[in-house]
Structure 1
Amino acid sequence: MRIKPIHQTMGLLLGLSVATGLTACNQTEKAGTDKSANKAKDTLQEYVDQRLAGYERVKLTTNLNQLSANERQVLPLLIQAAEIMDELYWKQAYPQRDSLLNTIKDQKTKDFVWINYGPWDRLNGEKPFVAGIGPKSETGTFYPAGMTKEELEKSDVKDKFGLYSVIRKEKGKLISVPYHVVFAAELQKASALLKQAALITTDPGLKKYLNLRADALVTDDYTASDYAWLDMKTNGLDIIIGPIENYEDKLFNARAAFESYVLVKDKEWSKRLAKYVQLLPELQKGLPVADNYKKEVPGTDSELNAYDVVYYAGDCNAGSKTIAVNLPNDEIIQQKKGTRRSQLKNAMQAKFDKILVPIAKELIDKDQQQYIKFDAFFANVMFHEVAHGLGIKNTINGKGTVRSALKEQYSWLEEGKADILGLYMVTGLLKKGELTGDIKDYYTTFMAGILRSVRFGASEAHGKANMQCFNFFKEKGAFERLPSGTYRVNFDKFAKAMNELSAFIIMLQGNGDKSAVEKAQKEKGIIQPELQADLDRLSKKGIPVDLVFDQGADVLGMK
C-alpha cells in the first residue's frame, strides 16, 4: 500500500521506485517473442529450480501452554505489528513487488521472489533471476537513482548519513525526508497496535517499552524505547520492531531497514545464561592487542536471553535468517547500558539439525564428526552476539566511531570481529571453568559453521566475514583439506590463528582506515575455486542453504 501525497515535494518520495526494476518488468513482457529471450527464460527457470531447492521449510512454533491468558491476548497484536514491518521492508527493498509478480507465470519464480524480497538472489551475490532484470542498484530506494557517493558527501544536506531518513532530489537539489513522513500511514497503524498491546499487558516493563516504541515509530526517536527495552526483566513476550540494521543500504551502510521479531522467552534457558555478561570487562582486558585498542570498558547492565521466535518480518527474514540478535546498535547506549543478546533457540536448533549436521557429514573429516555438538553451536552463536560488546567502538586516532569511519565497510568487518572474538570468549571461559565441554567440540563446530555461512555469498555481511575467516585460517594452517575432500581442524594452530585474526580485525577497526578494510575484503573476503567446488557438492547433495518459515498466528493455532 502506497502513501497518499502530503504536498508537492512528496511526489518524488512516495513512489520509492528503483529504475532498473521498472524497466525490467517491461522487458520481461516483451521477451516472449524472442527466441534468445526464451532461452534466457529457460536458463533462469533452471537456476530458480536449483536455488529454490536449497531452502528447507520449517514451522515456527512454541509451547503456548507456557503463556498466560494475558500473553495470549497480546501475542496476536505483536504479530500484526510485525506484519506491517514486512510490508515496509518490501517498500524499501523492492516497491514494485506486485507489478513484478503479475508478469511472472511460474509459481517457483514467484516463491523465490518472496524469499528474496525482490528479483535478486541474496545468497548468491544478488544475482538477478527474472529475465530482463539488471544488477541491483547500490542506491536502492534510500537515494535518488544514479546518485554518487561524492554527490551526497559534497551536498549541504544535514542528515547525510541518517539512520531514519531517505535522500531525494527536488528541483535538482538533494533533500532528506524522515521515515515517519515517508511511511506515515503504515507507521501510525503499527504504533496503534503496540499501544493496544500496551493497554492489555500486565507486565510493567513490557507496557513501558511498547508505549515508548509506539511513540518512536511515529517520531524516529528510538533512544528512550531502546533504554526501556534493556530495562525489561520479567516479560514473557518480546518484540524487536522498527528500522534497525544497515545491511540493505549498499551505498553507505548508513540507513536502516525495517524488521521485526516476535519472541517468547525461554525462562529456563535465559536463567542459565545470565552470568556471562558480567565477565565482559575481564575478557576485554585479555584481548590479544595493544592496550590502546582495548581501553573501552564494555557495559554489563544487560542480559543474555533465550527465546522461541514465532515471527520474522522484513530485513531479518531476507536472505540468511538470523538466529541470534545483539541490540541496540547505538554505540552510546552500548557503552552506557550494554546490549541484550537474544538467542533464537528454536530457529537455531532447526539450522543445526537441517543444515549444519548434514554439512559436517559431507565436509568434516570422519574422525572429527564426533565433535559436532548443538551445545557448542549454541555457545558459538551466543558468544558471537556477546562479542559485539567487546573490542573497540571508537577509533584511536580521532576519526570518530568505527561505524562512521568505515561506513559501508563496517558491517561485514564487525560481523567478522564478533565471530572470532566469540570463539576467543569460548576459549577463555573454558579455561576458567565457566563453560564445560571439550575445546575440540567448539572448534570443530565453529569450522562447520564457517562452511555453513560462506554459502551466504559475497553480497551478505556474514558471508564476507566467514570467507575472511576461512581464508585467514587456511593461510595459518588452522585446518587442512584432505584428499578425500574433507576438512580436518588442527586444534593448536586454530587457537593461534584465532588470536591473530582477533588482533588484525580490532586494529583495522581502531585505526578507522577504510581503504585498509577494503583491501582486506578484496584479498580475504572471496571464495576460491576449490572451496566453491566443495560448496557445490553440498547443493548437489540437496543440503539446504537456509530456511523458509511457515509462521503467524494461524501456524501457532491462535486464529
Structure 2
Amino acid sequence: MGNSNGTPKESGPSVRDRLANYKPTELRADLSHLTEGDKKALVKLAKVSDLLDAVYYRQIWSGATQLRKELADRAEKGGEADWDRHELFELFRGPWDRSLDNEPFIQGVGPKPKTANVYPEDVTADEFVAWVKTLDAADAKRAEGFYDVVKRSGGQLGLATYADEYSDLLKPAAELMREAAGLVEDASFAEFLRLRGKAFEDNKYLESEIAWLKISHQSALEAAVGPYETYEDALFSAKAFFESMVHVRDFAGTSTVDKFTSSLELVEQHLPIPSEYRNPDLVPPPIVVVNQVYNGGDTAVPMTAAYNLPNDEEAIERGGSKLTLIKNVQEGKFHSVLQPIAARLLEPEGLAHVSFDAFFTHVLLHEVAHSNGPHRTVAGGNTVRSQLKELHSAFEEAKADIAGLFAANLLVDKGVVGDITMEQFYYTYLASAFRSIRFGLEEAHGLGQAMQLSYLLEKGAFTHDQQSGRFGVNMEKIAQAVSDLTRDIMLIQGDGDKSRADQFKAKYGVLSPPVKTALEQLDAPIDIAPIWVDINNLRASFGS
C-alpha cells in the first residue's frame, strides 16, 4: 500500500511521463433534444457512477479503497505531483499501469492479484475447483457465476452475494436509479432503471438484463449500469465487476448502421469453420450509436469504444444482445491516438488509406462478431468461457477483431459496404493493432491483438521494412491469412481446448523484435483521458 512515512514513490517511468500517455480530450454530446427531466436524470446517474466507482475499488483489491483515500488526501494538501499521482490512480482505477503489464507505480504495492478481491487472495485454482465439487448445484452455479463473492471464514470458503457484500453502496445507488426512473421521458428506459435498482438489492439481474435489451430506440438516453465484464478476474474470468456508462443517443448515427444487423447470418454462413462450429441460435443484435457523458467503476483507460452486452449466457439465450457504439470516444481515439501512430509506423503509401469510417465500421463489426461462431463447445455443450478460463477474454477479443475483419471483406465483396475499400480496412486495422497492443499484454484486448499481429506477420500478410522500420499490408496474402486466423481461433473455442489455447498464446501472444522496437520508439498517446464537459455543466445547473 502507500508509504506511511511520506508521499508514495513510484518506480519505473515517472507519474508525469505515464500521464502524458493519455491525452485529455473533451467528450461532448448534443443535449438540445433532452427534456429537463432527462437532464436531471443524467445528474442522478452520474452519482450512481461515482458510487459504483467505490464498489469497483472494493472488488479490485483489498487495499485499493484505503490507498485511494490516502492519495486523495495528499492531493488536497500537496502539490502538483500529488495531484498527478491521484489522477493517474483514477485513470487506471488502481495503482497498476495497465499499459506496462500492470506494473505497480506506487512504492509498496505488490503485483495485481489474479483473484482481485472477489476471491480470497490466497486461494488457488485447485482449491476452488475442489471446493465447488462439494457444493449443491445451486451454490456451485453461484460460485462459478457472475454475482457472488467467494470469501474465506475460519479457513473455509463461502459465498456472499454482491447485494450483501456492497449493500452500503448499492442501496443508495438503487434509490438514485429509482429517482432517475421517475424523471426520464422514455418509459422503457425508466423500467430498466427501476429493475436494475431492484437487482442491486436482491442480486437477481436477469429481469433487468432483459429490460435493458428492450429499451426503445426512441429513448434519448442509454446507459449500461451494473456488473458486466469479467476481465479483472484473472483466475477464472468469471466474476463480473461493476461499471456505469451513461450516454445520449445519436439518432442519426443509429439510423446509418441498421444494415449490419441483417448481415450477421450472412457472415455466419461464410465463416471458414465446419458447420457444427457455427452458432445455431444466432440473433442479430440491435445496434445503438451514442455519445458518452460520464462513466464510473470498471472503466479504466483504455476507454471502451463499443460494447456488446449482456455477457450472461442465460440472458443472451433469452433475449439476445445489444451492440452500443460510443461515437465521441471513437472520434477521440482516432484523432488523438490512431492517426499519430499511423504517421509514425505505416509505410507512406498506406497512410492515405487510414480512415475514420474504416475504424468506426471495424469497431462495429468487431462487436457484431462477438455473436458469431461457437459460444458453447461442440462436444459437451459447455460454455467456452468455462473451458478457456483465464484465456477466454483474450481469445474472445481476438476472435471478434479478426472475424470482424473477415466480415468486412465479405461485406465489401457483397456490396453491403460500398464506401470503404479493403485497403482502408486493412491499413486502419494495422495502425489500430499497435494502438491496442500498447494497452499491455496483461489486458485482454492487448493480448488478443498481439496474437493477431504476430500471426499475420508470420504469414506474410503484414510486412516490415527493416531499413525504415515501417509496416505495410501484402494485399495478395492478407485475406487468406485473416480467414485462416478466424478459423484457428474459432476451432480452439469450439473445442474448448485449453491446452491448445495455452500453446497458441505462448507462440503468438508475444511481441516480435520489430514490433517491440517500433513500440519503444513510438511517441504518441496511448489513449484519451476524458473531460466530462456536459455532465459538469449539468451538475452546475441542477446540483451535484
Structure 1 match to 2:156: 173
Pairing 1:281–2:248 present: no
Pairing 1:222–2:205 present: yes
Identify which of 301, 310, 326 aligns with 2:293: 310
Aligned-residue offset at 1:47 = 3.2
2: CA distance between counterparts of 1:216 and 1:197? 15
Question: Helix, strand or coil: the match of 1:65?
Answer: coil
Bigger shift: 233-242 or 369-378?
233-242
Identify which of 87, 95, 99 aligns with 2:65: 95
Question: Helix, strand or coil: the match of 1:383?
Answer: helix
Change (3 A) 1:243 1:42: closer
1: CA distance between counterparts of 2:408 and 2:314? 26
Letter in 2 for 1:413: F
Letter in 1 for 2:448: A
Change (3 A) 1:208 1:182: same
Change (3 A) 1:358 1:420: same
Structure 1 match to 2:244: 260
1: CA distance between counterparts of 2:67 and 2:43? 26
Structure 1 match to 2:176: 193
Change (3 A) 1:484 1:401: same
2: CA distance between counterparts of 1:364 and 1:418? 23
Where do 1:459-498 residues align within 5 Å?
Answer: 459-482=442-465, 483-498=467-482
Pairing 1:361–2:337 present: no
Q: Give the TM-score normalised by the residue count of structure 1.
A: 0.90
Question: Helix, strand or coil: the match of 2:308?
Answer: strand
Identify which of 16, 19, 29 aligns with 2:4: 29
Question: Helix, strand or coil: the match of 2:99?
Answer: coil
Question: Helix, strand or coil: the match of 1:64?
Answer: coil
Aligned-residue offset at 1:209 = 1.3
Aligned-residue offset at 1:90 = 1.5
Structure 2 match to 1:49: 16
Asked if structure 1 preserves the Cα contact closer than 8 Å seen for 2:43 and 2:538, the reply is: no
Identify which of 57, 62, 65 aligns with 2:29: 62
> Deviations 1:468-493 (Å, cap 9, x if unpaired)?
00000001101111121111111221
Change (3 A) 1:297 1:283: farther
Aligned-residue offset at 1:327 = 0.5
2: CA distance between counterparts of 1:113 and 1:100? 11
Structure 1 match to 2:144: 161
> Deviations 1:111-162 (Å, cap 9, x if unpaired)?
2222212211112101011122221222221111211111111113523222
Aligned-residue offset at 1:210 = 1.4
Letter in 2 for 1:461: A
Pairing 1:548–2:543 present: no
Aligned-residue offset at 1:512 = 0.4
Asked if structure 2 preserves the Cα contact closer than 8 Å seen for 1:308 and 1:345, the reply is: yes
Aligned-residue offset at 1:295 = 4.8
Letter in 2 for 1:121: D
Aligned-residue offset at 1:99 = 5.0
Letter in 1 for 2:24: R
Aligned-residue offset at 1:399 = 5.3
Asked if structure 2 preserves the Cα contact closer than 8 Å seen for 1:334 and 1:389, the reply is: no
Bigger shift: 157-166 or 415-424?
157-166
Structure 1 match to 2:253: 269
Change (3 A) 1:473 1:377: same
Structure 1 match to 2:497: 513
Which 4+ stretches in 1 moved above 6 angstroms?
Answer: none
Pairing 1:250–2:234 present: yes
1: CA distance between counterparts of 2:336 and 2:194? 38
2: CA distance between counterparts of 1:286 and 1:509? 18
Aligned-residue offset at 1:30 = 5.2
Where do 1:287-366 residues align within 5 Å?
Answer: 287-300=271-284, 302-315=285-298, 317-366=299-348
Structure 1 match to 2:86: 110
Aligned-residue offset at 1:66 = 2.5
Bigger shift: 118-127 or 522-531?
522-531
Asked if structure 2 preserves the Cα contact closer than 8 Å seen for 1:168 and 1:176, the reply is: yes
Letter in 1 for 2:158: I
Asked if structure 1 preserves the Cα contact closer than 8 Å seen for 2:338 and 2:431, the reply is: yes
> Deviations 1:345-391 (Å, cap 9, x if unpaired)?
00100000000000000001111100001000000111100000111
Question: Helix, strand or coil: the match of 2:438?
Answer: helix
Identify which of 103, 116, 133 aligns with 1:127: 103
Asked if structure 2 preserves the Cα contact closer than 8 Å seen for 1:76 and 1:553, the reply is: no
Question: Helix, strand or coil: the match of 1:307?
Answer: strand
Structure 2 match to 1:76: 43
Aligned-residue offset at 1:218 = 1.2
Aligned-residue offset at 1:43 = 5.1
Asked if structure 2 preserves the Cα contact closer than 8 Å seen for 1:84 and 1:190, the reply is: yes
Structure 2 match to 1:11: none
Change (3 A) 1:222 1:42: closer
Structure 2 match to 1:144: 120
> Deviations 1:326-350 (Å, cap 9, x if unpaired)?
0011223334432111110001000
Pairing 1:377–2:344 present: no
Question: Helix, strand or coil: the match of 1:241?
Answer: strand
Asked if structure 1 preserves the Cα contact closer than 8 Å seen for 2:51 and 2:173, the reply is: yes
Give me the identity figure in percent.
Answer: 32
Structure 1 match to 2:402: 420
Letter in 1 for 2:67: R
Asked if structure 1 preserves the Cα contact closer than 8 Å seen for 2:188 and 2:211, the reply is: yes
Asked if structure 1 preserves the Cα contact closer than 8 Å seen for 2:279 and 2:372, the reply is: no
> Deviations 1:518-551 (Å, cap 9, x if unpaired)?
221121111223212211222xx3x100111122
Question: Helix, strand or coil: the match of 1:319?
Answer: coil
Pairing 1:402–2:369 present: no
Asked if structure 2 preserves the Cα contact closer than 8 Å seen for 1:399 and 1:405, the reply is: no
Structure 1 match to 2:52: 85
Where do 1:434-445 residues align within 5 Å?
Answer: 434-436=416-418, 437-445=420-428
Change (3 A) 1:338 1:100: same
2: CA distance between counterparts of 1:354 and 1:247? 26
Question: Helix, strand or coil: the match of 1:346?
Answer: helix
Listed as ranges, the gaps of 5+ residues in structure 1 are: 1-23, 33-37
**Residue-pair matches, total:** 521
Aligned-residue offset at 1:60 = 2.1
Asked if structure 2 preserves the Cα contact closer than 8 Å seen for 1:62 and 1:556, the reply is: no
Listed as ranges, the gaps of 5+ residues in structure 2 are: none
Pairing 1:388–2:388 present: no
Aligned-residue offset at 1:268 = 0.7
Question: Helix, strand or coil: the match of 2:223?
Answer: strand
1: CA distance between counterparts of 2:449 and 2:68? 35
Letter in 2 for 1:75: L
2: CA distance between counterparts of 1:31 and 1:193? 38
Asked if structure 2 preserves the Cα contact closer than 8 Å seen for 1:263 and 1:310, the reply is: yes
Change (3 A) 1:376 1:295: closer
2: CA distance between counterparts of 1:131 and 1:77? 36
Structure 1 vs Structure 2 CA RMSD: 1.8
